[in-house]
A and B are shown apart, each in its own frame.
Chain A
Amino acid sequence: MKSLFKRGRTLGVLLLTALLALLPLAGCQGSDDAGADDLVLQVGSTKPFKTTNKFGDYWYGVLSGITTHDSLVKLDTNMQPSPWLATSWEVSADSKQFTFTIAEGVKWHDGMPLTPEDVKFSIEYQRDKIASSAWMKEVIDNVQVDGQDVIINLQLPYGNLLTEFMTYHPIPKHIWENVEDPDGYNGADRAIGSGPFKLDSWNETAGKFTFTANDDYFQGRPKIDRLVVDVYKNMDALVMSLANGNIDTWWDYSGEFPYTHVPTLQGTGQIEFATATFLGVPAAIGFNLDVSPTSELEFRQAVAKAINYEQIAELVFDNYGSVPTYGFAPSTHPNFNDSIPSLEYDPSAANAFLDGLGFLDTTGNGKREANGQEIKLRLLARSDTPSTVRCAEMVMQYLQDIGIGAQLTSVDSATWVAKKDAMEYDIVFFRATPWGNMMHASHGSGYFDSRRTGQGVLHNLDAQDYLDACDARLNTAVADQQRTLDLQLQQMHHDYLPGLALTWIESVYPYRTGWDNWVIDHIYGGVVNSFSWFTVTRTAE
């Protein structure tokens, strides 16, 4: 008797199922294994990499800056510009001419020499073709080549050019000169740079980059033979991998390693931590200066006094946080103004400010009123960083403690940008990245200057003397003048209070025991940075 469930058929169904399962997986390739003696560093990351086009993929662009590509100058661990592709540079007295002398004997990964002509091409190419480099159109007049020198003539004095150029990487002219649409360029040679590592493969399915050491690197061969960047979709999986020994360390730019996971890793006895002061501000608030009551300086001062910074540092940043000053950017930045007072939790002072403004609780229900109506502030936060949302919850509580009602809107980053630009908030929660704090006129001014636009910035402060100070700072490359203006700008953050840092933090950078001699870098990503490639060692277990 034939039956549907005859044994043979059951087996068939099983086989068919297995086949169906494996069918979609056909057509993937693996990469060949390296020698056993090779020094391999496995780095975990949670950044959403998609392609190996540094122009199309923001995160690959950042990663390429410490692996396959070089910049003209780099910021050293003392926060000073140091030579890299450019062996030296000169700035004219009026800050309108920058001359970079390019190192000799540098080669692209395909063996072609890197020439000053390539550098000139790269600057012009990025100015003309890359949307995010559009600022160059207003700043750079022309670029000349003279021997090994690249001379950049500016339309206006621009003191921040060196800092800006730390994130710009020369690209080979012979590859890109015919590429009209750099964002979408798919050629296999798009990853070729001059950096210490060559891109070997990118397996999107496995989420894995493999880089190999560049034997011909002009500063010497890196100590690591193979660099593997393992991409995870969430931090939990990455931390578990770190604990289980699948990866050696973690890389991110501008994100902090979640402190909540530190005890677990310490418990394994296999992981050590390096710390460095985070140059950004992981959690900050900005005020809407156009609407009442946040347009009142005393009100903003009241809010500043109402926040329990110690508690935020303890609960949200697990005691790795510290109480900031009114100056906004942390003390590791050059020209830090140490005469600016620290923020302070003082609810009675906050209440005094509010009483002084006449915002009283006349009905006795614990809620203050302005013009006969209970105050209800609109708080705006991004939902994608849990620590920000936690901060927002806490600030909401602190406001209630001084009789200020508040309503928290927590939205995805894109909605946040839209609402922030439409000024649909009274208090907005944001974060400042390390580069973000250094951009524009430095010390976080890029976040507050009302003339700025961009995804992360608030552009809420339009006081004329502040804008003038920003312009003056932008227009000079003279150290003394920069210092005076830096101190002044920080003072203005205190005086105008357009926003404030909720905490400053020590970032922690985990790495596997046995790896030593890292260079701890504040800005390029902790232990994983261009300097570490030439110092790091591994002792056999």
Chain B
Amino acid sequence: MHEMARLWHVVKRNKARTAGIAILALFAFFAVFATWIAPHDPWQFGRAFLSPSSTNLLGTNDVGQDIFSELLYGARISLTVGFAAGLLAVTLGTLIGLLAGFRKGFLDNLLMSVTDVFLVIPTLPLAILVSVYLGPSMWNIVMVIGLLGWPATTRVIRSQVLSVRESGYVESARALGAGDFWIMRHHVLPNVLPLVIAKFVLTVAMAMLMEASLSFLGLGDPIDKSWGMMLRYAFLRGGFVGGMWWWYVPPGLAIGLCILGLTLISYSIEERSDPRLKRALDR
């Protein structure tokens, strides 16, 4: 009973995170079970431009595909691209950050300079450039975002490694013969984990937004049912001008909600790990 009350307290105090996780869980559910919960096959053609009804909850698009089913399947592409790119970026970022932090001196300087370069590379134009060269594919988008998104993580990890290195207990651990790897596992990672997760979550959001933008520009695979592609067709095939809100509002909202969920999670983590802010907010 006491435990339950404690849990409730935590949840209540962290409404933002709970809401964020709930939103994402919902879309993840859609993505995983789209095949079962979608009322129609979103690739199946039928009567075009139907208004919402009990058979087609959100009506049908320009070639008679069920928009609600498209929306559910769209979660797959967006979440896959987002999480794959986020994972790639954070893994790279963590590795480079650890390397820079532990190997001070020349290598550290070099890696930090490279980080600076990557921070100012305009991601969207580069992603466009690479997509044009390599052809439309979801995995190209993952690659570009993954390879460009690591510097933020690297900086956090590196500064954490540096501050831990200097601390007395690591010095003594080292004196007792502990290796870099041991120090990393026991002192660095636990400290940086919340921040890494926060960065990961933000990268996921960025990747999802970019996928939606590139698909909207026509640089995505047209066979993939993605939210950006749905918006593209609504824009090009009369959905907007015709005022068919059931066609162009849901995909935009879906993208926005996912990003909202991720942002809420990220903020709540960052707030908790910033003691000054935490103190202020608890006041």
Contact = CB atoms under 8 A, between A and B. Distances in A.
Are both chains from one complex? yes
Interface of A: 234-236, 239-240, 243, 258, 260-261, 263-264, 311, 314-316, 318, 381, 383-384, 386, 389-390, 392-394, 396-397, 408-412, 415
B222 A264 contact: no
Contacts of B168: none
Q: How large is the interface on B (under 10, 10 to 19, 20 to 34, 35 or more residues)?
A: 20 to 34
Contacts of A408: 222-223
Given A315-B48, A412-B132, A393 B223 contact: yes
Interface in B117-146: 132, 135-136
B135 A260 contact: no
A397 B132 contact: no
Given A236-B235, A393-B63, A260 B136 contact: no
Interface string B45-72: 1001100000000000011100000000
Interface string B224-248: 0000000011011111111100000
Looking at chain A's contact residues, is the secondary structure mostly helix, strand, loop, or mixed?
Answer: helix
Given A240-B241, A264-B241, A383-B222, A415 B63 contact: no
Nearest to B238: A260
Contacts of B223: 393, 396, 408, 410
B43 interface: yes
Contacts of A239: 238, 241
A315 B222 CA distance: 17
A411 B136 contact: yes
B252 interface: no
Contacts of B39: none
B242 A263 contact: yes
A419 to B, nearest CB: 10
A396 B223 CA distance: 10
A239 B241 CA distance: 7
B221 interface: yes
Contacts of B239: 260
The 10 residue pairs across chains A and B that have the minimum distance between CB atoms: A260-B238, A386-B236, A315-B63, A410-B222, A260-B237, A261-B238, A264-B242, A389-B222, A383-B218, A264-B241
Interface centre among A235, A383, A384, A394 (most CB of B within 10 A): A383
Contact of B240 (A236, A263, A314, A316): A236
Contacts of A240: 241
Contact of A383 (B48, B136, B240): B136
Contacts of A411: 135-136
A239 B243 CA distance: 13
A408 B222 CA distance: 8
Contacts of B233: 386
Nearest to B217: A383
Contact of A311 (B43, B45, B62, B236): B45
B222 A318 contact: no
A236 B237 CA distance: 9
Contacts of B45: 311, 315, 394, 397
Nearest to B133: A415
B218 A258 contact: no
A361 B135 CA distance: 33
A178 B156 CA distance: 65
A318 B48 contact: yes
Nearest to A386: B236
B136 A397 contact: no
B35 to A, nearest CB: 17
Contacts of B62: 260, 315-316, 390
A314 B63 CA distance: 9
23 contacts: A234-B235, A236-B241, A240-B241, A260-B242, A261-B242, A263-B238, A264-B243, A315-B45, A315-B48, A381-B222, A383-B136, A384-B218, A386-B232, A386-B237, A393-B43, A393-B63, A396-B223, A397-B44, A397-B45, A410-B221, A410-B222, A410-B223, A412-B218
Contacts of B232: 386
Interface in B129-182: 132, 135-136
Contacts of A234: 235-236
Contact of A258 (B136, B238, B243): B238
Nearest to A318: B48
A415 B134 CA distance: 10
Interface centre among A240, A315, A318 (most CB of B within 10 A): A315
B222 A393 contact: yes
A79 B44 CA distance: 41
A261 B135 contact: no
Nearest to B243: A264
A397 B43 CA distance: 8
A386 B242 CA distance: 17
Given A261-B241, A261-B242, A383-B136, 14 more contacts: A239-B241, A260-B237, A261-B238, A263-B238, A264-B241, A311-B45, A315-B63, A315-B64, A316-B63, A386-B236, A389-B222, A397-B43, A409-B135, A410-B223
A316 B64 CA distance: 10
Contacts of A412: 132, 218
B216 to A, nearest CB: 12
Nearest to A242: B241
A235 B241 CA distance: 10
Nearest to A410: B222
A411 B62 CA distance: 21
Contacts of A260: 49, 62, 237-239, 242
Nearest to A391: B63
Contact of A390 (B63, B235, B242): B63
